[in-house]
């Protein structure tokens, strides 16, 4: 992608340092509450903060590997897809994330689209 479209497409959210390692922050966006996670490898993921099971706040779960365990009924959600790990089934919407020089960006378009 070129530098000119980049500014239009992406919204600056926060810096990586502002997210606890193996933890999360919550964003209040028009699309709803979005959880952004940081794992031990400093990878950043963004998922709608709503477990596909009973709507639990995934941001409050324990982060391990590339997964988070929902605090309400312990479903494991794969952070890269937003989908539940077998044998559970269902997906939370996942959002595209871009990290550049420690700044975390989310897609403007996705931030705007509302989800249940």
Q: How far apart are CA 24 and CA 97, in angstroms?
A: 14
CB of 81 to other proteins, least distance (A): 18
Q: How far apart are CA 20 and CA 16, in angstroms?
A: 8
Q: Does 71 bind other proteins (CB under 8 A)?
A: yes
Q: How far apart are CA 25 and CA 82, in angstroms?
A: 16
CB of 60 to other proteins, least distance (A): 4
Helix (H) or strand (E) holding 77: strand 76-78
Q: Does 108 bind other proteins (CB under 8 A)?
A: yes
Q: Does 116 bind other proteins (CB under 8 A)?
A: no
Closest Cα partner for 107 from 115, 96, 99? 96
How many residues touch other proteins under the rule CB under 8 A: the total is: 40
Q: Does 61 bind other proteins (CB under 8 A)?
A: yes
Show the site string, 17-56: x = touches other proteins by CB under 8 A, - = not.
-xxxxxx-xxxxxx--x-----xx-------------x-x
């Amino acid at each position: 992608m070129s530098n000119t479209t980049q500014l239009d497409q992406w919204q600056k959210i926060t810096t990586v340092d502002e997210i606890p390692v193996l933890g999360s922050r919550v964003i209040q966006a028009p699309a709803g509450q979005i959880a952004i996670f940081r794992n031990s490898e400093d990878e950043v993921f963004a998922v709608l903060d709503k477990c596909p099971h009973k709507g639990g706040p995934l941001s409050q779960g324990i982060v391990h590997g590339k997964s988070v365990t929902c605090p309400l009924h312990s479903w494991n959600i794969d952070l890269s897809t937003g989908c539940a790990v077998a044998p559970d089934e269902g997906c939370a919407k996942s959002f595209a994330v871009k990290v550049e020089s420690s700044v975390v960006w989310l897609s403007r378009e996705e931030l705007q689209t509302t989800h249940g």
